[in-house]
Amino acid sequence: MNLHNIISEIEKVDPEVYERLDSRRKAIRQFAGIGRRLALTAVPLAFGAMFKSAYGQTTTSIVDVLQYALTLEYLESEFYKKAVDATGLVPDGAAKGAITTIRDHEVAHVNFLTTAINAMGSTPVAKPAFDFSGAKGAGNGPFKDAFSNYGLFLAVAQTFEDTGVRAYKGQAGNLISNNDVLTAALNIHSVEARHAAHIRSMRRANTSDNTIKPWITGKDTGGIGDAVQASYNGEELTNQAGIEIVNINGKSISQAAATESFDEPLTMEQVLMIVDPFLPA
Amino acid sequence: MKSKIHSAHSSRKYLQRRQFLKFAGGSAAAIAIISACKKDDDNNNPGDGSIPLGSDDIGILNYAYALEQLEAAFYTQVVASLYTGISTTEQAYLTDIRDHEIAHREFFKNALGDKAIPALEVDFSAINFGSRDSVLGTAKAFEDLGVSAYNGAGQLIKSPDYLLLAGKIVSVEARHAATIRDLISNGTFADNTVIDTNGLDKSMSPPQVLSVAKNYLKSKIDASRLPTN
């Protein structure tokens, strides 16, 4: 292993590597010192740590994303805990079973993210005192009957799940530098999408509205209305990376199918605006 | 459309830098050192008539294109020869899913342009298209496989733009998987055969995925040059 070659290779892809490491000479000296002190097997780890300090910002932004995800998972897990505990809200049988399954996943996500944030040396954010009525703590918002009105409960659940899918999707690019965290986030993202599909099917059955499907058509809220429109805006996109999907290559792909076949991301700012009514003022 | 891939190539420096930043994250530092120390030995087409997916992001896009070809061909046949006793809801869902998979397939074809692999020949001889159990069982296997394939491919992608596109598709595949599972047995949309105790879905590497997919393909796929981290 030739240390000079390694630094030279890095320089090809990152010309500023020396600024990050002070100077080439200092970097080599620093690394040679590490090499003397450590067994050879530990060298890659020390090397990683050296670059972690040089590229430290990456680590910070990853923790920020995890804290943001934790906040959203708190929102979902507390929501489903209250729903499962609310007498007479979710019908016994298949419905209760499904909501319990989803609650357990959201609680597991909270625990998983808490552990991950701790492992990265940061303190997990505290659980907010949510106002599920959507009135910033006043308790009298548009969803104030969500734990007594089953249809309204399902409507809020659908919105939380579809928003959660979009929120994780919007952060994938910010996690690209860390394979483990990215993969874990993707593995949560697809679970949220499975939840969303099932909740949508439950709403379809409960409302007998066959226009509600497991996938999102256009920017349609599925009859929930203006209060949740921000969670669906942008889903009407039919052009992906400059390629029009409607009737692509002469195939019969409708406008509806084109929008359904790709879910769209939301930025952190967009999601925080959406969940703001559920957070204390 | 070809120009998209070309522009991705012209920003190769950026991609390499991305790749490096990924390595600099820490855990992969050992791999970075190993690749810096040895010459890149080119593993080209083995010459047995198999279809090479290529390397880097193009290889991953071709890998996704191959899986979408498989799914689209399956649902096309499902809808063309509906199984006995199919319900209105089932027919509507399977038709929607067919259209989604065709949209995915054609999207990748156009995005890849002249880098795209050819149309694959499928082998559905193990599927009984007249049987609900056989069709939905195969659909479930394909959808769960697709979800874990995209989840596992995310970390192999260098371009944030391609990563986002994969993300836009994988959640739709997860919606399909949940729906098919619920059609087979309501409430199994995310049961413990796919979701672990941390509440995480599965992710699989390309070799793991292709070892399953090959049972439904006449064409042989050469994935040997795909990235592995």
Count how many domains chain A has.
1
Contact of B175 with chain A, judged by CB distance below 8 Å, is answered with yes
Per-residue H/E/C for A33-98:
HHHHHCCHHHHHHHHHHHHHHHCHHHHHHHHHHHHHHHHHHHHHHHHHHHHHHCCCCCCCCHHHHH
**The pLDDT value given to residue A59:** 52
Q: What are the pLDDT digits (tens) for B17-31? A: 344 334 333 343 333
Contact of B124 with chain A, judged by CB distance below 8 Å, is answered with no
- Contact call for B164 and A101, based on CB within 8 A: no
- Return the CATH superfamily for domain B51-222: Ferritin, core subunit, four-helix bundle (1.20.1260.10)
Boundaries of domain holding A86: 3-278
- Contact call for B24 and A106, based on CB within 8 A: no
Residue of A nearest to B150 (CA): A186
Task: Give me the tens of pLDDT residue by residue for chain A, a chain 281 residues long.
Answer: 344 444 455 455 455 555 554 444 554 444 444 444 433 333 333 344 444 444 444 555 999 999 999 999 999 999 999 999 999 999 999 999 999 999 999 999 999 999 999 999 999 999 999 999 999 999 999 999 999 999 999 999 999 999 999 999 999 999 999 999 999 999 999 999 999 999 999 999 999 999 999 999 999 999 999 999 999 999 999 999 999 999 999 999 999 999 999 999 999 999 999 999 999 99
Contact of A42 with chain B, judged by CB distance below 8 Å, is answered with no
The residue type of B136 is L
User: Which residue positions in chain B have pLDDT lower than 50?
Assistant: 1-44
| Contact (Cβ atoms closer than 8 angstroms) between residue A217 and residue A264 | no
- Contact call for A213 and B187, based on CB within 8 A: no
With beta carbons under 8 A apart, name residues in chain B contacting A258.
103
**The pLDDT value given to residue B15:** 38
For chain B, the structural domain boundaries read 51-222
With beta carbons under 8 A apart, name residues in chain A contacting B111.
241, 243
**The pLDDT value given to residue A233:** 98
**The pLDDT value given to residue A8:** 52
**The pLDDT value given to residue A50:** 43
Beta strands in chain A (DSSP E): 239-240, 243-244
Distance CA A69, CA A146 (A): 23
- Contact call for A104 and B102, based on CB within 8 A: no
